[in-house]
Structure 1
Amino acid sequence: MSELLPIALSLLTAYAAACGTWGGEPGAPLWLSWPLPIWNRIANDWRRPQLRPDRAKIARLERELGIGQDDKPTA
C-alpha cells in the first residue's frame, strides 16, 4: 500500500499541473477546466469589492432630467 502513495501523489500533481496549464485556455475540455471556476471563487471572490451606487452621479442625472428633489429651497 505504501508504494502506491507516491504514484498517486505524482499522478495527482501531474493532473493539477495539466489543469493549471491547459484548463484556462478557451475551448479546453471539461476534464481540464472544471477546477478553474472553483479556484477563482476561492482565490479571488473574497477580494472583489462590493459595488456601491454613485450617489453624486445619480443626483446629477436626476437634476438634469428634472426628476430629482432640489436641495435648494425656492423662495
Structure 2
Amino acid sequence: MEAVLLIALGLAGVYAVVCGRFGSGADAPRWLAWPLPLWNGVAHDWRHARPDYAKIARLERELGMGRESK
C-alpha cells in the first residue's frame, strides 16, 4: 500500500512540474494548461490592489473630512 502511495505522489509531482514548465505557453495543450488559472488564483488573487490615495483624498475633500490645503 505504501508503494502505491509513493508512486501516486511521484506521478502527481512529475505532472505538476510538467504543467508548470510546459503549460504556461500560449500554444500549450489543455491537459497541461488547466492548472495555471487555478494556481494564479491561489498565489496572486488574495492580494488586493493598492488603494488609490488620490481618489480617497478627493472624496474626503468633497465630504469635508480631509485636511484643508493652504
- TM bucket (normalised to shorter chain) is 0.5 to 0.7
Greater gyration radius: 1
Match of 1:10 in 2: 10
Distance 1:24 1:48, change over 3 A: farther
Q: Does residue 41 of the first structure (1) align with residue 47 of the second (2)?
A: no
Structure 2, unaligned stretches of length 5 or more? 56-70
1:1-75 alignment to 2 at 5 Å? 1-49=1-49, 52=52, 55=55
Distance in 2, Cα, partners of 1:21 & 1:48: 27
Structure 2-normalised TM-score? Answer: 0.66
Unpaired runs of at least 5, structure 1: 56-75
CA distance in 1, matches of 2:21, 2:14: 10
RMSD: 2.1
d(CA) in 1 for partners of 2:39 and 2:27?
18
3-state DSSP of counterpart to 2:45: helix
TM-score scaled by structure 1? 0.62
Aligned residues: 56
How far residue 48 of structure 1 moved from its aligned partner, in angstroms, is 3.6
How many percent identity over aligned positions? 46
